[in-house]
A = this chain, B = another copy of it.
Amino acid sequence: SHYTVTILVINYFSELTGTCEPQLTVDLRRPSGPYSRVFQHRRKCHSLVDHFGFDVNLTFKQRYLVANQYWKKENGVILFYTGNEGDITWFCKNTGFMWDVAEELKAMLVFAEHRYYGESLPFGNLSFTDSKHLNYLTSEQALADFAILIESLKKNIPGARNSPVIAIGGSYGGMLAAWFRMKYPHIVIGALAASAPIWQFMDLVPCGKSGPNCSETIQSSWKAIDRLTSTGEGVQWISEAFHLCNPLRSQTDIIVLKSWLAETWVNLAMVDYPYSSDFLMPLPAWPIKEVCKYLTDPNESDKVLIQNLSQAVNIYYNYSGEANCLNTSQTATSNLGIQGWSYQACTEMVMPICTTGISDMFEPQEWDFAAYSDQCFLEWGVRPRPLWIPTVFGGKNISSHSNIIFSNGALDPWYAGGVNENITDNLVSIVIPDGAHHLDLRARNIDDPQSVLFARAKEVEYMKKWIEQFNGHH
């Protein structure tokens, strides 16, 4: 049962103008699927570009989606997706969990787009031109957008004023959900932070990387590539073997090829879902198993090994069979905002990654912050501040907060950066042994493993408890 949502109405928002009254309620039910949706239509209006300074008083259009079909004003809830680094409609499509629990929780669903992604570009086409235009792309600004959006929704939607709100997000969106509860506990009564590596900063956790299990062949492949690319003929042969759109021309191209391959293996582990899916790429069920079928013998000759590797890579990049050639500049869906994320990684979101070649299947590479910083300065004209996120969001010292669920899948390469033990009774961890990257946020599926069903049931149980607590106080 492939899960799709057609987003029919795009909503924009403003606090300052006060003109964002609900205009129309458009009922658009999807006739064929199990999930009918109602999107509430709102006028396009504007949000502040800079919440933390008063000199720049510009505004921008922020997009969000609202579905209120199952919402009950009495003892209902608003489930608020804290949008991350991509098109919000794509996250909406890939967060079926919220739709699945909407009726049970009498929930209004809101999906808020993160500034600088999707259609929420503060300076339109100029948003990524330089560090001046990018200056307002931070997690703190995004959280402030969310806070003001929620206040506005509660003011403007009749009956919403006293509705509790729960933040939900996955990956960076999961970090935002957790951080939102930490910084704005007066606005959200709790948060579900799915696959949120909030500790993949500084030296809070080891920087090591993980990936698929059939690692010996991959481990052997780097040297095989080196040997083959030592001759001009070999370089040409490899370009053809991988069906590259742009044949390798320089030593830099070979480095790019290798990091593209490494990222491919990590991405595959992230989306190792138990059923056919289309998140980063269209893929079969348990894609790692499919990929590993081609990677059984690490002792093949270089050319045979690379040919096998190419077939494995094709599972990820060309499962649909529609690609004529592969492009090493792309590793996932274009719904992800790679420019925005590259900037964020060069400023606040400094998440150290390293490889040993021994405990993992990658070429050995230390975490070299100086080189990283220089690269960021070259690319974006900014220097990263690796200490800032732990300073502002608490690092490992977060026990004074409450009502946050940290869920993590053990198959997910980001697992190790997450919170995988209960911190307090109200700051809890749910580990999903058979789960990849935020599997729990995906729509229910007949092939879901028991462990994710259990995780989702626990998550709903916690959310109900928070709602009850909230209603008890009001």
Contact = CB atoms under 8 A, between A and B. Distances in A.
28 contacts: A15-B387, A51-B388, A51-B392, A52-B52, A52-B53, A52-B138, A53-B135, A53-B136, A54-B138, A54-B382, A54-B383, A54-B385, A55-B131, A55-B132, A55-B135, A57-B383, A144-B391, A144-B392, A147-B391, A147-B392, A151-B387, A151-B391, A185-B400, A185-B401, A186-B394, A186-B398, A187-B391, A399-B473
A148 B388 CA distance: 9
Interface string A153-187: 00000000000000000000000000000011111
Chain A interface size, under 10 / 10 to 19 / 20 to 34 / 35 or more: 35 or more
Nearest to A138: B52
A349 B471 CA distance: 32
B183 A183 contact: yes
Contacts of A285: none
A133 B232 CA distance: 57
Contacts of A23: none
Nearest to A57: B383
Interface string A79-112: 0000000000000000000000000000000000
A148 B55 contact: no
A410 interface: no
Interface string A458-474: 00000000000000010
A52 B141 CA distance: 8
Contacts of A140: 52
A54 B131 contact: yes
A394 B347 contact: no
A397 interface: yes
A266 to B, nearest CB: 26
A401 B401 CA distance: 8
Contacts of A131: 54-55
A144 B347 CA distance: 16
A381 B138 CA distance: 25
A402 interface: yes
A203 to B, nearest CB: 13
A397 B16 CA distance: 22
A134 interface: yes
A395 interface: yes
